[in-house]
């Protein structure tokens, strides 16, 4: 891809992200509902998990616990939980706050530029993370969205713990340049991926782009092993 085309793609994506598709100042509940359904329908997460949030001023709007297991990510506006940056429930069922909410709040409080956090279980990404393999930039969109560095795994610690939040933050701190542009991603070994982005649109694009790059990497390894390359 020529530099002119890269520049044109960058401008176009910026304009798209600021358009009416995912405005950051309008209908956060509806946007999370739309995102959750899209991610599940495109098989970028399984029914066992996935949680999504966005920040609007000092409020966090978050998908509820059991969104996948019980509702198959067919959510309603009343399901979305509104919380403060201090994790206080302002509206919604406090019993349905996701157990991984601490990851979301740690990211928002550490990186004010982040306006969306997505945690999902994409199958190609999990396959590589389970083997300790980083995801390299196999596509042009990967390079454009999050740069030339591979997506790495955080340290393997207990699920839904403060230690997990801390190790994820450490990984994002090494990707602040990417966060300041569109967003960044970090794998959780044998579990999934967490994405921090400047809005929900960028978060979805990064999720799908990273899992596509993971799929390409798996296919390349298979072809090499079969002598096809």
- Give the model's pLDDT for residue 205: 96
In this structure, are residues 204 and 39 in contact, taking their beta carbons and an 8 Å threshold? yes
**Overall fold of domain 3-225:** L-fuculose-1-phosphate Aldolase (3.40.225)
Chain-centroid distance of CA 14 in Å reads 18
In this structure, are residues 180 and 146 in contact, taking their beta carbons and an 8 Å threshold? no
pLDDT grade for 7, boundaries at 50, 70 and 90: very low
Average pLDDT over residues 189-204: 95
Average pLDDT over residues 44-66: 95
What are the boundaries of each domain within the chain?
Answer: 3-225
pLDDT at 15 over 90: no
pLDDT at 21 over 70: no
pLDDT at 12 over 70: no
Q: Which residue has the higher pLDDT, 17 or 149?
A: 149
């Amino acid at each position: 891809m020529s530099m002119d085309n890269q520049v044109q793609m960058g401008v176009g994506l910026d304009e798209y992200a600021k358009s009416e598709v995912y405005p950051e100042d309008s209908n956060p509940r509806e946007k999370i509902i739309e995102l959750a359904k899209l991610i599940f329908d495109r098989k970028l997460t399984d029914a066992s998990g996935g949680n999504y949030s966005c920040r609007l001023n000092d409020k966090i709007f978050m998908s509820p616990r059991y969104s996948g297991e019980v509702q198959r990510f067919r959510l309603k506006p009343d399901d979305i939980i509104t919380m403060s940056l201090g994790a206080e429930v302002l509206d919604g069922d406090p019993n349905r706050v996701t157990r991984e909410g601490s990851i979301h709040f740690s990211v928002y409080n550490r990186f004010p530029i982040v306006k969306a956090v997505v945690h999902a279980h994409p199958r190609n990404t999990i396959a590589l993370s389970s083997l300790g393999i980083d995801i390299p930039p196999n596509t042009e969109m990967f390079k454009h969205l999050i740069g030339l560095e591979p997506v790495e795994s955080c340290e393997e610690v207990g699920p839904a713990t403060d230690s997990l939040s801390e190790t994820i933050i450490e990984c994002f701190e090494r990707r602040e340049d990417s966060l300041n542009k569109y967003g960044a991603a970090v794998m959780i070994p044998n579990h999934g991926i967490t994405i921090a982005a400047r809005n929900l649109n960028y978060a979805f694009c990064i999720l799908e782009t990273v899992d596509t790059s993971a799929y390409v990497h798996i296919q390349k390894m298979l072809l090499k092993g079969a002598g096809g390359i």
